[in-house]
Amino acid sequence: MTIEENLINIRKRIASYEQKYGRAQGSVRLLAASKGQAAIKVEAAVHAGQHLFGENYLQEGLKKISALGDHDVEWHFIGPIQSNKTRKIAENFSWVHGIDNLKIASRFNDQRPHHLPPLNICIEVNVSHEASKSGVAIEEALPLAKECLALPHLELRGLMTVPAINKDFDAERREFRKLFQLWETFRDQGIVLDILSMGMSDDFEAAIAEGSTMVRIGRAIFGERERKK
């Protein structure tokens, strides 16, 4: 299967899940997670009409951003954030999905160049209570969101999660539902966000069933990743 065929297939599946779970047509955006994939593959995806890409590692991401410089691509940083990398991320990406503390958010706010629009951010929530995972606990998300809303060079867009790997579909849905419910709590507090960033190659049906508005898909588009050098 080519990247183009994979993209057609994924878009069809997204549309069919929107219909199956009573979601509005076109309500789920597709982010191509391109970590560990060569720039030429990213370019093939761009030619097949893909617009949103996510990278996890700064150096690798910067190489692809410059290689793809002439194309109309929206770059999302979806990896773990080290504080010594925030400036380059703020200068080169449009979105950051893994915000989980105020200190990092403040750095992005201070370092976002003023000639660019505000940096779009999602707060990462650790819905599965895994000690190894980044992300705030569910009850910490709203206080952090309120602090982020006060930062003028950031635009709080949504919530993001990478749940624990689950054995069955219903268990996957239960994890994603926690983020959806938190999103509704935000709405009840007057914080209306358009992005619920959840769902990857192996679990995006469950995520769409539970209200995802942005799925982040890597291997199902590009195939297996190259080993990280």
Ligand X SMILES: *Cc1c(COP(=O)(O)O)cnc(C)c1O
Give 144 or 160: the residue with its C-beta nearer to ligand X: 160
CB of 217 to ligand X, least distance (A): 5
Give yes or no for a contact between 99 and 77, defined as CB atoms under 8 angstroms apart: no
* Amino acid of residue 108: F
Cα–Cα dist 218/198, whole Å: 13
**Could you give phi then psi for residue 55, rounded to 5 degrees?**
-120, 150
Cα–Cα dist 39/22, whole Å: 36
Give 6 or 56: the residue with its C-beta nearer to ligand X: 56
The contact set with ligand X (CB under 6 A) reads: 33, 35, 56, 78, 162, 200-202, 216-220
Give 79 or 211: the residue with its C-beta nearer to ligand X: 79
Give the residue at shortest CB distance from ligand X. Answer: 218
> What's CA 56's distance to the chain center, in Å?
10
If you count DSSP H runs as helices and E runs as strands, how many of each does the chain have, helices first?
9, 8
| Pairing of β 119-124 and β 154-160 | parallel
CB of 31 to ligand X, least distance (A): 8
CB of 207 to ligand X, least distance (A): 11
* Amino acid of residue 172: E
Give 37 or 86: the residue with its C-beta nearer to ligand X: 37
Pick from 60, 55, 34: which is nearest to 45 by CA? 34
> What's CA 166's distance to the chain center, in Å?
20
CB of 89 to ligand X, least distance (A): 14
CB of 42 to ligand X, least distance (A): 14
CB of 186 to ligand X, least distance (A): 21
Give 40 or 116: the residue with its C-beta nearer to ligand X: 40
Give yes or no for a contact between 91 and 111, defined as CB atoms under 8 angstroms apart: yes
Give 38 or 153: the residue with its C-beta nearer to ligand X: 38
Rounded to the nearest 10 degrees, the angle between the axes of helix 102-111 and helix 138-149 is 30
Give yes or no for a contact between 141 and 123, defined as CB atoms under 8 angstroms apart: yes
Give 35 or 64: the residue with its C-beta nearer to ligand X: 35
CB of 170 to ligand X, least distance (A): 20
